[in-house]
Amino acid sequence: MRFTLGLVAALALLVSIGRSSAAVYEFTTQTGIVYAEHDGTKLVGDLYHPKGLAKAPVLVAFHGGGFQFGSRKSYTYWGAFLARNGYAVFAVDYRLGKPGMYPAAVYDGKAAIQFLRAKAAELDIDPERIGLTGDSAGAYLAALLGLAADQFNSAYRDDANAAIPADVKAVVGFYGAYDMLAQWSHDLAVSPRNVFVEKFLGVAPMENRRLYFEASPISYATVDRNKLRVLLIHGTNDDIVDPESQSGAFLTALNQAGFFARRIIIPGAGHFWAPDPFEGEPHSYSATAVPRLMRFLDGSL
């Protein structure tokens, strides 16, 4: 009964977004897949896979939480929805708090991409059609890895898949931080006792301004990397991550460098809504984004 109701909801949402002719799949879920071990921590993910679809395109999904909290389980709804619509999703945990301080969490995310490509035949996914998605801190990881995974090579060289390329074709970021110096200034203004960026990077910009530049996805929006396709999604009422100094400025930089980059602006939306259920809720923020998001994925992976 649960699957039947979910299938009806999926079909209804597809019809509402104009994709009624698209195939709808059953899907399988593999939970707790160990994709790497870093500094004694086993890193795990859950794979949502369209049943019967050979060499499925796949998205690695990074949860939000300010680098301090969160879980791969926040992609339960997107994982199921995308798998039913022909996209595998590998929702992963990465280290948080002090163990995940920059660049540790970045290396965790890179290992997830390398694992998928190394195990593509076994997992029945297409190693040439890998994308990244994430919300908030997860969008930051997706953007940085999509643009600059090749810059993170000095640690974890003994990983089983360390020699595997980590390049991807597309990035979808929900209300992400892409300029760490601008986000630090915003954090200081709205929450001076809890400056998430400074906690993540370990220093204030007055101590190491270069680190803020090197850790920012916007710094890698250059013409030599413009084969990546990018979709940025955010609301108009986000007081945690300022839309214009982050998604707006990032979009401008990407366009200037010749990227295929698009933006979806959700009226009235704040922060922390991407993990909410949205099937059967046609006016929810995620459902509002679905039509253009699916068109982007269909053209990018």
Kindly report the CATH number assigned to the domain that includes residue 235: 3.40.50.1820
User: In degrees rounded to 5, what are phi and psi of residue 172?
Assistant: -120, 120
Q: What is the pLDDT of residue 31?
A: 98
- The set of residues, in sequence order, having a beta carbon less than 8 Å from that of 279 and lying 6+ positions away, is 6, 9, 10, 12, 13, 77, 81, 287
Distance CA 137, CA 264 (A): 18
End-to-end CA distance of the chain: 32
Per-residue pLDDT in tens (0 to 9) along the chain, 301 residues: 334 344 444 444 554 444 544 789 999 999 999 999 999 999 999 999 999 999 999 999 999 999 999 999 999 999 999 999 999 999 999 999 999 999 999 999 999 999 999 999 999 999 999 999 999 999 999 999 999 999 999 999 999 999 999 999 999 999 999 999 999 999 999 888 888 999 999 999 999 999 999 999 999 999 999 999 999 999 999 999 999 999 999 999 999 999 999 999 999 999 999 999 999 999 999 999 999 999 999 999 9
- The set of residues, in sequence order, having a beta carbon less than 8 Å from that of 295 and lying 6+ positions away, is none
Closest C-alpha to 100, from 131, 73, 133, 67:
67
Q: What is the pLDDT of residue 11?
A: 45
The neighbour count for residue 15, using CB atoms within 10 Å, is 12
Instruction: Tell me whether residue 41 is in a domain.
Output: yes
The beta-strand segments (E) located in 152-224 are 170-174
Instruction: Tell me whether residue 4 is in a domain.
Output: no
Instruction: Tell me whether residue 117 is in a domain.
Output: yes
Strand, helix or coil for residue 194: coil
Q: What is the pLDDT of residue 16?
A: 46
H/E element, 142: helix 137-148
Instruction: Tell me whether residue 294 is in a domain.
Output: yes
**96: containing domain:** 23-300
Instruction: Tell me whether residue 7 is in a domain.
Output: no
Distance CA 260, CA 230 (A): 6
Closest C-alpha to 76, from 89, 86, 85, 87:
89
Number of domains present in the structure of the chain: 1
Closest C-alpha to 48, from 90, 109, 5, 7:
90
The beta-strand segments (E) located in 63-109 are 88-92
Residue type, 1: M
Instruction: Tell me whether residue 222 is in a domain.
Output: yes
Q: What is the pLDDT of residue 7?
A: 45
Instruction: Tell me whether residue 286 is in a domain.
Output: yes
Buried b / exposed e along 117-135 (16+ C-beta atoms within 10 A): bbbbeebbbbbebbbbbbb
Instruction: Tell me whether residue 226 is in a domain.
Output: yes
Q: How many helices (H) and strands (E) does the chain have?
A: 10, 8
Distance CA 207, CA 203 (A): 6
